[in-house]
Amino acid sequence: MRPTLFSLRLFGHEIGLHSYGLAIALGFAAGIFLAARQARRLEMNVPDVLDLSFWMLVAGLLGSRVMFVLLNAGDYARLCTGFGQPRTAFTLISDCTAVFRLWEGGLVFYGGAVASTIVVAITARRRGWSFGKVADVFAPSLALGHAFGRIGCFAAGCCFGKLCPSSWAGAVSFPPGSVAFEDFVSHGLLAPTAHTTLALHATQLYEAAGELLIFFTLLALRRRQRAYGSLALSYALMYAILRGLGEVFRGDAGRRFLIEISTPRVAAWLGLPPREPLLLSTSQTVSLILAIGAAWGLRALHRRERARPAG
């Protein structure tokens, strides 16, 4: 794991190429390429789709970051004012620029998804496009791009998992300089002189693998798709399930719980600390609502297709 691939010193300042930012850039590039190919197949105007992709990128990054900052508003307020110590360690600099340090991690997917969806809805309305058709074009791209993003999270050490036995297949340890390491140090759970964290669940890789599975499933579904919008709804349903399950293994302190439910027996079976809550985080709540909405939408589309006269 290398949070920074390499650094160059220019004009007295050290500039590094961060793995997290590179992974996100590759994810967006792959997603846009895939969306452009599908738009061409559907005889949509590719330059217009590329233009929409750019604004979705901007909205996605802003929405993701704004949501993260809002969820950790107290920490960023303390960093900006210099009062007290931050509860989490997503930044090592005590000033207001911490909000803009994206390369250290700190994006909430649901915030970006909502912002991007709003951009798609506005653009589709203005250009007379079918919202479902446009959403379907970008659904596989979103899954693929998100897989790259989670690999970037692994490289930065953010969105890390709970403690697990070192013999666990998904056990990983993060070195100094990673978000996970600094988070444990800031909470007094790890000595600053330690070489790595204790063994943690590789939640970033769990979700990256899940996103790739969703991506290939969407490609298969696209071949026999009958109604626009079904692909996007299928992605929403599958991702909501993936995220809800993935939250069970997450251990980063930036998460919030609406209700804390612990089940020691289930936790032990999953290789988790027995007293760690399994439910119900903010993201799990959003995932539950999204899954219900997506399932309802798919059912409505299926009924409409069945009611449509043959021929």
Burial class of 176 by CB neighbour count within 10 A (0 to 12, 13 to 18, 19+): middle
* Contact yes or no for 221/257 (Cβ under 8 A): no
For every one of its 311 residues, what pLDDT tens digit does the chain have, with 9 covering 90 and above?
666 666 666 655 666 667 777 888 899 899 999 999 999 998 888 999 999 999 998 898 888 888 777 766 666 566 566 554 444 444 444 456 666 665 555 667 778 888 999 999 999 988 888 999 999 999 999 999 999 989 988 888 888 999 988 888 778 999 888 888 888 888 788 888 898 999 999 999 999 999 999 999 999 999 888 889 999 999 999 999 999 999 999 987 666 788 888 888 888 888 888 888 888 888 899 899 999 999 999 999 888 877 776 55
In terms of Cα–Cα distance, which of 178, 157, 311, 162 is closest to 248? 162
Which tokens belong to 15? 């500039």
Who's near 57: CB < 8 A, 6+ residues apart? 28, 32
In terms of Cα–Cα distance, which of 166, 153, 215 is closest to 19? 153
* Contact yes or no for 120/56 (Cβ under 8 A): yes
Domain ranges, ordered by start, for the chain:
4-238
- Give per-residue burial for 280-300: e unless 16+ CB within 10 Å, then b: bbbbbbbbbebbeebeebbee
* Contact yes or no for 40/50 (Cβ under 8 A): no
Q: Which amino acid is at 205?
A: L
- Backbone φ and ψ for 119, nearest 5 degrees, come out as -65, -45
